[in-house]
Amino acid sequence: MSAKIKNAHLAEVYEEVLTRNPGEPEFQQAVYEVLESLAPVADKRQDMVQAGVFKRLVEPERVIIFRVPWVDSAGVMQINRGFRVQFNSAIGPYKGGLRFHPSVNASIIKFLGFEQTFKNCLTTLPMGGGKGGCDFDPKGKSDAEVMWFCQSFMTELYRHIGQFTDSPAGDIGVGAREIGFLHGQYKRIANEVTGAMTGKGIPYGGSLGRTSATGYGLCYIAAHALAAKKQDFKGKTVVISGSGNVAIYACEKAQELGAKVVAMSDSNGYVYDEKGIDLKLVKEIKEGRRGRIAEYAEAKKGATYKADCTDIWSIPCDIALPSATQNEITEKDAKLLVSNGCKCLAEGSNMSSTADAVAYLVGADIIYVPAKAANAGGVSVSGLEMTQNSTRLPWTAEEVDARLQKIMLDIYNNIDAAAKAYGMEGNFVAGANIAGFLKVGESMMAQGAV
Ligand code: NDP
Ligand code: 2IT
């Protein structure tokens, strides 16, 4: 792989990442994608090479791993492993979500923290990069068990976070319920009510528009990229993977913009509804009763269910919005999408595409907006929530949405300009990585040996 990095210093940095982080394929993949894009910057910026910026960037500032003991409703002691990776604070306090999923390990949290560092640079807000989580599975647990677990998790995490230090939020498996329990425990132990957690409920300091921000932001930036090619969402067929927070609000905005969303999924399978997804029903199933997407096909005449979620990309569509998990688009999927006429792929999930898929997509005849830029709306509105908490002034839904729209437009313009400046017009992977890198890299240099 490193042979493909066309700069000797960056190839060396990558080799060292492989040696120092064995058995961490997701982290290695995320670093590879960034370093590969930064070759033209490293060629130009000997000062950054000299200052060791690239070497420093791939090493998290701090990795915290902790035991999470809790007792389930049968009285059995359960032990989970918690993580918080404080990746980079060069431009602001660490900021990034918590993921609760059985697959969580150091590699996944490090990849997410690394990505978050660049994403947060693109948001135009002063937030560093961090990520955390646990190998706890909220599925099938009672509300009380989830609360006991969250309280134990926060009993350790609280000492590492704070509004000026590190502010966690949601991600896979962490939604309104979990954030409520986590915030409640943080407040009890820290004896202060601040923006240390975001994604809070509206009555206790949350921002209007945070729940929908990632999905809406995804459609806003995709619409800008489409508009540059004189296209839009109107009348387009859209496929969205996942049926969680990001997927549901991507579907809502895509429909509002006049598109027809024909498929959504969960980890068990996908539903296809050629008449267009009935989002009210999806919300009832997923938000209302934590059900499975298969129930949609049981309730909806004409809709079909297929018990293989990976097959969703075989459905012909104009716009694909992967919004479930990492590496959900393989090279085969990417080729299938393009050959079926897909015009735009914008990533709601973090690192939606495998390395081979990314290499194919940047050269293919498709608008490809990578996760760092495409899903930055969520963390952006988290940043706005912190601002509202600091000033003690809540904003209206309209004000938050107007700011989100402006941020997504700024992100689009910024990644487009960076790609053009380096002679790679339309390559938004390079644009996002370069624009993000220059902000964090310059900030690190200005602060000396940090
Ligand atoms: P949710 O937990 O709300 O929903 C996740 C959805 O993806 C569910 O439908 C879930 O299915 C599915 N999914 C999760 N893991 C897998 C898997 N391994 N294989 C197949 N399907 C899977 O999470 P979010 O919507 O918040 O997050 C989705 C993606 O968006 C993640 O990549 C996350 O990092 C990213 N993201 C989230 C942001 C946010 O604000 N929440 C912001 C930016 C990015 P099931 O229920 O069966 O597990
Ligand atoms: O990946 C992400 O950007 C998130 N899960 C949201 C992070 C946040 O702090 O809102």
Residues 6+ apart with CB under 8 A from 393: none
pLDDT given for residue 4 in this prediction = 87
Residue 2 confidence (pLDDT):
54
349 CA to middle of ligand 1, Å? 7
What are the tens digits of pLDDT across the range 84-141? 999 999 999 999 999 999 999 999 999 999 999 999 999 999 999 999 999 999 999 9
Per-residue pLDDT reduced to its tens digit, 291-316 = 999 999 999 999 999 999 999 999 99
pLDDT of residue 3: 60
Place of tokens 């993921």: 99
Average pLDDT over residues 202-210: 98
Confidence of residue 268 (pLDDT cuts 50, 70, 90): very high
Contact 149, 71 (CB under 8 A): no
Q: Mean of the pLDDT values across residues 53-64? A: 98
The answer, yes or no, to whether residue 409 has pLDDT greater than 80, is yes
Q: Of 171, 218, 308, which is best to mutate to test ligand 1, by the most ligand atoms within 8 angstroms of its C-beta?
A: 171
Residue 149's identity, in one-letter code, is: F
pLDDT (average), residues 59-75? 98
Hey, how many other C-beta atoms are within 10 angstroms of the C-beta on 156?
15
Q: How confident is the model at residue 165 (pLDDT cuts 50, 70, 90)?
A: very high
- The answer to whether 100 touches 110, Cβ cutoff 8 Å, is no
Distance CA 80, CA 100 (A): 10
Q: What is the pLDDT of residues 337-379, one digit of tens each?
A: 999 999 999 999 999 999 999 999 999 999 999 999 999 999 9
- pLDDT of 1 reads 55
Cα(120) to centroid(ligand 2), Å: 9
Query: What does the alpha-carbon distance between residue 315 and residue 340 come to, in Å, rounded to a whole number?
Result: 8
Nearest ligand to residue 174 Cα: 1
Which of 131, 187, 200, 306 is the catalytic position? 131
> Is the pTM here over 0.85, yes or no?
yes
Question: E strand or H helix at 96, and its extent?
Answer: strand 94-100
CB atoms within 10 A of CB 389: 22
- Is 80 exceeded by the pLDDT of residue 280? yes
Do the Cβ atoms of 360 and 429 come closer than 8 Å?
Answer: no
How many C-alpha atoms does 322 have within 13 Å on its Cβ side? 30
